[in-house]
Amino acid sequence: MRLLRYGPAGQEKPGLLDAEGAIRDLSGQVDDIAGETLTPEGLAQIAALDPASLPRVEGDPRLGPCVGRIGKFICIGLNYADHAAESGMAIPTEPVVFNKWTSAICGPNDDVEIPRGATKTDWEVELGIVIGKPGRYIEEADALSHVAGYCVVNDVSEREWQIERGGTWDKGKGCDTFGPTGPWLVTPDSAGDVNNLSIWLEVDGKRHQDGSTATMIFKVPEIIAYLSRFLSLQSGDVISTGTPPGVGLGMKPPVYLKGGEEMRLGIENLGEQRQRVVKA
């Protein structure tokens, strides 16, 4: 299944994408693509529905973040060896963990704002994991049973604030609009082999990132099991799993977003995002 949320910001309704690519309204069945809806039981109830029996949404509505009421937005850094190298950082021996604030979350095609005073705003296409079944101390062998689905995330980053201004990475990672999420939450049965999907990003039509999730250092089950040692994972938590090479920081000389660009990015089977870059 491909689940989504559509409508004005803050007023999104739940929906699903049918086999013809049309949006079907789920608001008569569930209150949101969030919380209990994302558990195995909740997803099974949606899967049992006939999409043709649901109201068809006409027009081309705005798509919101594909998950509502996200509790935690957890990120894994330097999870592709070639990205670690282009960033001038050592290949990690265990996952590097940081957070994006939930106020950073926006729709997949919403504008991305360069914060006031920012000079090194960068892009990062990433595979997102959405937790369905809650858990703590999850065994790696059981980790995939806790996944509701997968999505595309743009881990927009302000490199000066992330790296040069002291403190943790979070300062440069969690600015408003720095977390476009979606377009869809794709359930595991429709996502394919998430450890071997093509992943890419373009700026103004020029492809900068063109990789595969096959080159992730830490795979999806290992990431889930690792994180669950330190915190409980809850329905609707999103884990962003790192980016392949091709970010602006790694270019010689580095190239950063200035405003006016268009980013287009996607992951095989999981859909595409498109954002206009504006100044806050």
In terms of domains, do 36 and 102 share one?
Answer: no
Q: What one-character-per-residue DSSP string does 207-244 give?
A: EEEEEEGGGBSS-HHHHHHHHTTTS-B-TT-EEE----
Distance between start and end Cα atoms, the chain = 36
What percent of the chain shows pLDDT beyond 70? 100
pTM over 0.75: yes
Residue 85: pLDDT band by 50, 70, 90 thresholds?
A: confident
DSSP H helical segments within 48-100, as ranges?
81-86
Q: What is the mean pLDDT of residues 94-98?
A: 96
Q: What is the mean pLDDT of residues 128-142?
A: 98
In terms of domains, do 108 and 18 share one?
Answer: no
Residue 184: pLDDT over 80 = yes
Residue 229: pLDDT over 80 = yes
Task: Show Cβ contacts of residue 253 under 8 Å, excluding neighbours closer than 6 positions.
Answer: none
Q: What is the pLDDT of residues 29-51, one digit of tens each?
A: 999 999 999 999 999 999 999 99
Q: What is the mean pLDDT of residues 132-152?
A: 98
Quote the domain boundaries for residue 9. 2-53
The enclosing domain of 78 has a CATH number of 3.90.850.10
In terms of domains, do 177 and 258 share one?
Answer: yes
In terms of domains, do 111 and 242 share one?
Answer: yes
In terms of domains, do 221 and 183 share one?
Answer: yes
Domain for residue 58, yes or no? Answer: no
Domain for residue 61, yes or no? Answer: no
Are the CB atoms for 25 and 54 separated by under 8 Å? yes
Structure token digits, residue 106 = 């926006």
Domain for residue 63, yes or no? Answer: no
**String of b and e for 87-111 (b: at least 16 CB within 10 Å)?**
beeeebeebbbbbbeeebbbbbbbe
In terms of domains, do 119 and 254 share one?
Answer: yes
Domain for residue 86, yes or no? Answer: yes
Residue 84: pLDDT over 80 = no
In terms of domains, do 30 and 155 share one?
Answer: no
pLDDT value for 83: 82
pLDDT value for 136: 98
In terms of domains, do 77 and 18 share one?
Answer: no
Domain for residue 66, yes or no? Answer: no
Sign of the C-alpha dihedral, residues 61, 63, 64, 66? positive
In terms of domains, do 89 and 215 share one?
Answer: yes
State how many domains the chain has.
2
Residue 4: pLDDT band by 50, 70, 90 thresholds?
A: very high
Residue 270: pLDDT band by 50, 70, 90 thresholds?
A: very high
